[in-house]
Amino acid sequence: MQCAGEVLRKRVMSLADTFWLLPVLGGLALGAWLRWTAVSLLLGLAFFVLTLMLFGYSLDHYENGDCQAGAPCPIGEHVIEYALPIAFLLGCTLVLGGFGRTVWSYVSQRREWRRRRA
């Protein structure tokens, strides 16, 4: 098992690879900021549907679902290349955060109910 310092020294992971953590952190922050859990779940579901739509568009318009090496790629393909994982990570984080918030609320309310009952 390598520690974080060894990974950065050996350049196993580049700085650009760490930028994929930003949508996850953004999803966590947005999920925590939203007042209602249902909004977080619906927004996460919307991002997930957007991911499926982008994936379907990419499969329909490009051979092998991606722009081939050496072939001219339209600007839309470059947008899809980055928008697809960002939307997926943001949507999944919002859905998981909303679900976790619902479970936490249920558990804390149940604990409070048991405490009052005793």
Lowest-confidence pick of 7-16, 36-45, 57-66, 83-92: 7-16
Q: Tell me what pLDDT residue 100 has.
A: 85
At residue 9 the predicted structure's pLDDT band, cuts being 50, 70 and 90, is low
pLDDT digits 0-9 by tens, 57-102:
777 766 665 666 666 776 667 777 778 888 888 888 888 888 888 8
Higher pLDDT, 7 or 83: 83
Query: In angstroms, rounded to a whole number, what is the distance separating the alpha carbons of residues 16 and 46?
Result: 26
8 Å CB contact between 97 and 31:
yes
